[in-house]
Every structure is written in structure tokens, then in C-alpha cells.
């Protein structure tokens, strides 16, 4: 029996989502690093007392979907949390991401009863490791990617555990920036707690808890109803990453999708085994991509919470690169593999509901990280950025150009901010005209972004994909153009750059990313006939 009538339930649901949105705004406006305050590479969410995701803001899909499956295991490691405790972790095998994504979780107590948890996850520009930015192009074990923070209490009964914080800051290149970003995450938790207290004044603690669970039940009912409208059957799809960065062999994702009686199952049998390079993904990454893709298949207005996944079953074969085990390298599992999982699942969904699913978007986060000693201050710096590309052509119209798509939802770093914050110069930033696939609805174009080193020696890391296998078109549309990376010397000469790798550059040298365009949707002849 539901405690809330539909109107009160909707009021509560929207209040929770507004709270998560406000948490994100506080995080963005109090952060130190351009990666968070400009790009908003961070996410905030609210969980029930049983650690089920109940509300999230429209932040980064790869963060939120993975937190959905990772907060519970994190809290199992810490045991009971008291009022004023704050847990910190970045352990991928528990927290479900990669090391730069640091997660903070705090319980919310109302009159002595734990009613919820609030959480923030932010991508920190450096957490140590073999390369500045902690996203090495060719790491082969987790220890090369940075400091591992198991689930521990950063605050205990409201008191900062200074030894824990100093241990973390002693293992990163930019400790002052990390301290500032962690404080911003704590501020986001505080505003989340405050808004939950205010909600408890409107709905007493016990009723509030029941209302949170009612929201999940409501979402589950809607999800099952939408899936019941889809055809029953079995569908297959496959796609691949260009390589793992360690060898040139493609890394395959294969999925069998079964729809039956309002439930859906995903079986990834046939997927490539674990690899030496860093595209291995922990299991919550897979759930994250499925969570995102299901919203596209069913109903975009579905509340984005754990109720969406209640009718879902997922089988990830042990030993596959989608179920990474310690100490596998995993930093690109977040940025690249999640994109390809989404591409593969959506390719299967295009057979189920062709009128709803777009062609492949650029399919990579085009990650670039640069670090060295800033000659202006004599202090270390780390710059990190994901770059947008073309969105796939859609059933309702052409894809957008120069955007982050699918598992990434970040902004870009404005050129002015980049050049003020770092000893770098942006020499080119424009659309890559003609890179989108042709079709009834054309794919969006990628971008060209060139960064030059100014006055010092730097280390540069690239993690990119779709440089070999292009984003696919659908229903007669052509593929988008694959991407390219270039390295320029101080004389302006250009040579091919690695899709995945790290290198040293000096003053006047630089790197150029040409990102993929989206695939086209539908045959061009249909478009031509309509135009005539």
C-alpha cells in the first residue's frame, strides 16, 4: 500500500531531484579545478537507507549509473555509519569507476533514524600514478594509475580525519587543488543533508522513508509497462574497441538481448577476455551503460533511479574484460569501454525499436591529459579534458555536431580558462566539417582541437578510440568518419599521434585531436526523394 498519493509522490520526487541538482551546483561553484568548475566532470545523487539510488541530477551518465551499483558494496566495507561520518573511496573494484573518480558518501539521520545517503563523485585531475592526470595511455596494472583509496571514513562523527586526508594529498601532484575539490564535494553533501532535513519537516522521518521506497516502486511499474509494449524475442549485437593500447587486436563486446513479459536480460557471453591494457571495465560500468541505454529505448521521462533496473538481468562472463579483477588496469574502462558498451546495446535496441534509436555517436571521450611544471609559478599542474564529437543521426532529425554524447555529459574547458589556468595555448578549435555520416538524417560532425605546450617540457597522454573502426550508420545511413590524432613540432610539421599512449613534448610542440563524426540514419535516397 502506497503511503503517498500520486501528487504528493511527484512533489517529493521532484524535490529530491532538485536537491541533487543543487548539490551539483554547489560542487561546481566551489571547486578549484577547471575540470569540475568549468567542465562539471562530477555528479551528485541521493540514495535510500538501503543504498538504492532514488534521485540524481542530469550530470554525467557514466558516474551515476555506476554509483547505482557501487554505493551498496562500498557501505558493506565500512559497516554501520554514524551521524557525521563521511566515507571516501576511489577503489574501482568496490566503487565501480576508475581512480580519478573520488566518491564521498554521507548518511542522513532524522531524529536518530538513518533515512538516506547523499553522495558526490568527481573526476580529480590527478591522483598520482605514472603519468600526470592519472590516465596513462598504456598502463597495464592498477598501481600505475594512481593512489587507491579503499572505503574509509574521511570524517568520523563530524571530525575530519587529518591523517587520512594528508595520506591522500601526499600521493598526488596537485595537493592544493585536490584539497579544494574535496572540500567542494563535502559542501555538496552538506547542502544535500540540509535539504533532506527540510523535507523531513514536511514529511515525518518514517513517512519520508516510505516515500523514497514508493518512488522506486512507481518507477519499476512504469518501466515494466514500457517493456511490455515492446516485442518479445531475442536479438544479438556486437561492436569493438580499436585496441586495448597494449596490442593492435580489436577488443570485442557481444551481447544477447532477451525481452520477455516486461523483463529484459543482457548476456555478454562471447565478449573478449581480460586484456593487458587499460580498457578493462569493472562490472558497474556495464550496468551504467545499460541504465543509460534503457532510458533511450523505453521512456526518457522515466525517473532516473534504481527502479529502472529492477526488471533487468545482466550476465557478464567471469574472466571477460567487462568484469575486471584486481589488479587489472581499468582507467579507460570508464572513458572508452562504457561508450562501446552503449554502442553495442543500442545497436541491438535498433533492431527492437528502429524508430527510437539513433546511429552511433562518436563513441569515444577523446581524452587528453597534459602535465608538467608551470614555468609561471614553478609548481606542478595537470590538465585533463574529454573532447566532444558528432552525435549519430536520429530518427527525428540530424545528429548534433561537436557535443559529448552517450556516457559523457560534460562541458568543454573554455579557451580563456584553459590558457589562464595552464601553460598551454589552444591554437585551433572548430567543427570537423564533413565528418558526419550521410543518410536521411545526417550524423553530426566531430571537432578539431589543437593544444600547444608553452615554455616548458610536458608529458601528454591520449586515450581515444574510433580511430580505426568508424561509428556505424543505421538503416542505410553511412558510417561517420573515424578520428585521427596528430603531433606537431615547433616548426609546424605534423606526424601521426598514438590513439592510446603517452609522450613527451617541449615548448612549441603540440597535439591535435580530430574527433569522429556520428553515423548517418536512413538511406540518402529517402532524403533526396523527400527534398524533390
Q: Which helix (H) or strand (E) holds 51?
A: none
- Distance of alpha carbon 118 from the chain centroid: 19
Give which of 364, 279, 274, 351 is closest to 316, Cα–Cα. 274
Is the Cβ–Cβ distance between 305 and 294 less than 8 Å? no
Contact 424, 453 (CB under 8 A): yes
For Cα atoms 141, 144, 146, give the angle at the middle one, nearest 5 degrees.
Answer: 120
What mean pLDDT comes out for the span 332-361? 96
* pLDDT for 531 beyond 60: no
Of 121, 105, 22, the residue nearest 64 (C-alpha): 121
CA gap 93, 213 in Å, rounded: 28
pLDDT of residue 418: 96
- In angstroms, the Cα distances linking 215 to 10, 14, 53, 66, 265 are 8, 11, 10, 20, 23
Percent of the chain with pLDDT over 90: 85
pLDDT digit string (tens) for 501-526? 999 999 999 999 999 999 999 998 64
Q: What is the distance between the alpha carbons of residues 388 and 371, in angstroms, rounded to a whole number? A: 21
DSSP-derived pairing of the beta strands 312-315 and 263-267: parallel
Which residue in this structure is represented by grid cell 585521427? 484
CA 235, CA 516: separation in Å to the nearest integer?
Answer: 27
Q: What is the C-alpha to C-alpha distance for residues 95 and 171, in angstroms, rounded to an integer? A: 20
Q: Which residues of 114-129 are buried (b: 16+ CB within 10 A; e: fewer)?
A: bbbbbbbbbbbbbbbb
pTM of the model: 0.94
C-alpha cell at 241: 574497441
pLDDT per position as a tens digit, 354-399: 999 999 999 999 999 999 999 999 999 999 999 999 999 999 999 9
Every domain of the chain and the residues it spans: 6-221, 358-532
* Angle between helix 338-352 and 283-297 (nearest 10): 30
At residue 59, the pLDDT reads 63
CA 306 remoteness from chain centre: 17
d(CA 430, CA 401) in angstroms, rounded, equals 10
pLDDT at 196 over 70: yes
- What value, to the nearest 5°, has the Cα angle with vertex 184 and ends 180 and 187? 135
Inter-axis angle of helices 175-202 and 162-169, to 10 degrees? 140
For residue 205, what pLDDT band results from cuts at 50, 70 and 90?
low
Residue 401 neighbours by CB distance under 10 Å: 22
CA atoms within 13 A on the CB side of 240: 14
Which cell numbers in the block locate residue 28?
A: 561546481
pLDDT confidence band for 527 (50 / 70 / 90): very low
What pLDDT does residue 529 have? 44
Residue 262: predicted pLDDT? 84
Tens-place pLDDT, residues 59-93:
666 666 677 778 899 999 998 899 999 999 999 99
Cβ atoms < 10 Å from Cβ of 25:
15
* C-alpha–C-alpha distance, residues 452 and 512, integer Å: 9
What is the rounded CA–CA span in Å between residue 331 and residue 340?
15
Could you give the residue ranges of the DSSP H alpha helices within 398-472?
415-421
How far is residue 102's CA from residue 122's CA, in Å, rounded to a whole number?
Answer: 6
Count H helices and E strands in the chain, helices first. 12, 20
pLDDT tens digit sequence for 104-149:
999 999 988 999 999 999 999 999 999 999 999 999 999 999 999 9
Length of the chain: 532
Phi, psi values for residue 523, rounded to 5°: -70, 140
Print burial letters for 325-356: b (CB count within 10 Å at least 16), e (below 16).
eeebbbbbbbbbbbbbbbbbbbbbbbebeeeb
- Structure-block grid coordinates of residue 264: 529484459
Contacts of 168 (CB under 8 A, 6+ apart): 88, 147, 149, 178
pLDDT band at 530 (very low <50, low <70, confident <90, very high): very low
Beta-carbon count within 10 A of 473 CB: 26
**What gap in Å lies between CA 24 and CA 47, rounded to an integer?**
15
Amino acid at each position: 500500500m502506497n503511503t503517498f498519493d500520486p501528487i504528493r509522490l511527484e512533489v517529493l520526487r521532484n524535490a529530491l531531484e532538485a536537491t541533487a541538482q543543487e548539490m551539483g551546483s554547489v560542487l561546481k561553484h566551489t571547486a578549484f579545478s577547471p575540470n569540475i568548475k568549468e567542465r562539471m566532470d562530477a555528479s551528485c545523487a541521493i540514495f535510500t537507507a538501503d543504498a538504492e539510488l532514488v534521485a540524481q541530477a542530469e550530470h554525467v551518465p557514466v558516474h551515476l549509473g555506476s554509483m547505482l551499483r557501487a554505493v551498496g558494496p562500498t557501505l558493506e566495507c565500512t559497516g554501520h555509519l554514524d551521524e557525521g561520518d563521511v566515507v571516501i573511496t576511489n577503489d574501482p573494484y568496490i566503487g565501480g569507476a576508475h581512480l580519478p573518480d573520488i566518491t564521498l558518501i554521507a548518511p542522513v539521520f532524522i531524529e536518530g533514524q538513518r533515512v538516506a545517503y547523499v553522495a558526490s563523485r568527481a573526476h580529480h585531475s590527478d591522483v598520482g600514478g605514472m603519468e600526470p592526470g592519472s590516465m596513462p595511455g598504456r598502463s597495464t596494472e592498477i598501481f600505475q594509475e594512481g593512489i587507491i583509496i579503499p572505503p574509509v571514513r574521511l570524517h568520523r562523527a563530524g571530525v575530519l580525519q587529518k591523517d587520512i586526508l594528508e595520506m591522500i594529498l601526499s600521493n598526488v601532484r596537485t595537493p592544493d587543488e585536490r584539497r579544494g575539490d574535496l572540500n567542494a564535494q563535502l559542501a555538496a553533501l552538506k547542502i544535500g543533508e540540509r535539504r533532506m532535513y527540510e523535507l523531513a519537516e514536511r514529511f515525518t522521518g518514517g513517512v519520508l522513508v516510505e516515500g523514497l521506497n514508493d518512488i522506486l516502486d512507481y518507477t519499476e511499474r512504469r518501466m515494466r509497462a514500457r517493456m511490455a509494449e515492446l516485442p518479445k524475442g531475442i536479438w544479438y549485437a556486437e561492436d569493438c574497441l580499436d585496441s586495448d593500447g597494449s596490442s593492435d587486436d580489436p577488443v570485442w563486446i557481444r551481447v544477447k538481448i532477451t525481452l520477455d513479459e516486461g523483463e529484459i536480460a543482457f548476456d555478454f557471453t562471447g565478449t573478449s577476455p581480460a586484456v593487458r591494457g587499460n580498457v578493462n571495465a569493472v562490472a558497474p560500468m556495464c550496468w551504467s551503460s545499460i541504465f543509460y541505454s534503457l532510458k533511450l529505448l523505453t521512456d526518457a521521462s522515466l525517473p532516473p533511479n534504481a527502479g529502472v533496473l529492477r526488471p533487468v538481468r545482466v550476465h557478464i562472463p567471469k574472466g571477460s574484460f567487462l568484469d575486471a579483477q584486481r589488479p587489472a588496469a581499468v582507467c579507460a574502462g570508464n572513458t572508452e569501454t562504457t561508450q562501446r558498451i552503449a554502442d553495442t546495446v543500442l545497436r541491438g535496441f535498433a533492431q527492437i525499436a528502429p524508430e527510437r534509436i539513433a546511429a552511433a555517436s562518436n563513441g569515444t571521450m577523446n581524452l587528453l591529459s597534459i602535465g608538467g611544471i608551470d614555468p609561471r609559478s614553478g609548481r606542478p599542474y595537470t590538465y585533463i579534458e574529454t573532447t566532444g564529437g558528432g552525435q549519430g543521426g536520429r530518427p527525428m532529425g540530424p545528429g548534433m555536431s561537436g557535443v559529448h554524447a552517450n556516457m559523457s555529459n560534460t562541458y568543454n574547458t573554455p579557451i580563456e580558462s584553459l590558457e589562464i589556468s595552464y601553460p598551454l595555448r589552444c591554437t585551433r578549435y572548430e567543427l570537423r566539417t564533413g565528418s558526419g555520416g550521410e543518410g536521411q538524417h545526417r550524423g553530426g560532425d566531430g571537432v578539431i582541437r589543437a593544444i600547444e605546450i608553452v615554455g616548458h617540457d610536458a608529458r601528454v597522454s591520449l586515450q581515444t578510440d574510433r580511430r580505426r573502426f568508424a561509428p556505424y550508420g543505421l538503416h542505410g545511413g553511412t558510417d561517420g568518419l573515424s578520428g585521427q590524432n596528430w603531433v606537431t613540432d615547433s616548426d609546424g610539421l605534423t606526424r601521426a599521434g598514438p590513439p592510446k599512449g603517452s609522450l613527451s613534448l617541449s615548448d612549441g610542440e603540440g597535439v591535435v585531436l580530430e574527433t569522429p563524426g556520428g553515423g548517418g540514419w536512413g538511406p540518402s535516397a529517402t532524403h533526396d526523394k523527400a527534398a524533390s
